[in-house]
Amino acid sequence: MDHSLIIGAGPTAVQTAVLAGKVWRGDISIACRDSIGSRQLKRYLYEHHHTLKVEGKDGHSLSGKVTISHFYEGFHQVEDRYSTIILCTPSDSYEEILNALEVQKRKRVKTVILLSPGLGANQRISNLVNDENMEVISLSNYYAATKFKEDSCIAFTKSVKKRIYAASNTEGPGLDKVRLLLEYANIDVVVKNHPIEAECRNITTYVHPPFFINDFSLNETLSDTKSLKSLYKLYPEGPVTPLAISEMVKLWKELSILVERLGGEPINLLQFLHDDNYPVKEEALSRSDIEGFSGFETTKQEYLLYIRYASLLIDPFSVPDENGRYFEFSRVPYPQVSHRESGEWVMPRIPMEDYLKLMDIRSLGHESGTNMPLTNHFIQRFEQRVTDWQSQTGRTIKGFCKGVEAREVPS
């Protein structure tokens, strides 16, 4: 019997456990690091007879329950009985977790699935496991939008992606398992030839650094005052400026060179934003401009991207209210630095996780001999601003240690 081990204690892990329990045969177990979140999940499982629950908008196919066979708080007691491991944690934690699991010694493990890997994660994990019979699969991104309900470990999934890209480091049955899992939720699974081609199809890699690692956004993120700005509005209500759009184009081109050097085919940024994320009306962007984006001169590329974000200040496909107002799509509040009861200051995942991904990308560039000047610039900008904030406030951000490449993302 094939048993599955889900790594993580967050809503993504709960949703994946429920979905796997519906689709795959065998036991579903969870393992995670000791944290506030893991202790809450452990208590919830104890109180609810080891059953996890997911609710969803309109009762979609991701909703349901699963009985967890084993819950491991820590990795040293995990038995060698699992054929599939799914990592539902930030990409920078993969190696630490798999080393703690001593995955190289596990004879039953046949497939490791990276749910939301950064660029080059598959290559790093393949090198770590060093076993040609162990299949490492990269997905382009997490397949849904899921959060915990307030003061609960019940997960709520409000939307599901229409398409996910997947690729494996070797031929094996793992991709068929992934397709079976996601197609149950009516998600189109597109198999790519090389893991880097799946990993480069995570849109946050291109959008988050230029929008959220700049002075405007970092000031909002690090402010003690509740932010009244929005993540996707035009300046001065948000971070979207011609300069931010220019940096987005430069970053896309820089990463495209890296993807090509690693054997993959880069994305058409505008087409990917439009077709795989959220479209705009054809009156705003023509199909010919979308499909021809990669071949245009830089000025036109920047213009078209600015038009896209201006067109998505509202949801162009929403139904206007009685006053003719459309749903304000771009009004997404800034997550801000927070203080835990333990005394720690925690940077939100946006932009902390984006910073850590950039660190991995810089290492990948160095290993492949690819110059990454803008990636370096984003890293330096983030580090300088956080270092200044720590000096000015006397506080310390958990997981931030300038100049150290291995960092822990706050749980």
What is the Cβ-side half-sphere exposure of residue 272, based on CA atoms within 13 angstroms?
A: 19
Burial code of 84-115, b = ≥16 C-beta within 10 A, e = fewer? bbbbbbbbbbbeebbebbebeebeebbbbbbb
- Cα distance between residue 55 and residue 128, in whole Å: 36
CA 182 to chain centre: 17
- Cα distance between residue 263 and residue 195, in whole Å: 9
- Cα distance between residue 102 and residue 285, in whole Å: 50
Among 90, 74, 62, 63, residue whose Cα is nearest residue 31: 74
Q: Are the beta carbons of 107 and 114 closer than 8 angstroms? A: no
CA 136 to chain centre: 18
Just list the catalytic residues: 208
Alpha-helical runs (H) found in 7-93: 11-23, 36-47
- Cα distance between residue 239 and residue 215, in whole Å: 9
Using alpha carbons, list the distances in angstroms from residue 145 to 29, 62, 316, 354, 380.
22, 11, 21, 18, 30
Q: Are the beta carbons of 276 and 293 closer than 8 angstroms? A: no
Indicate the residue type of 222: L
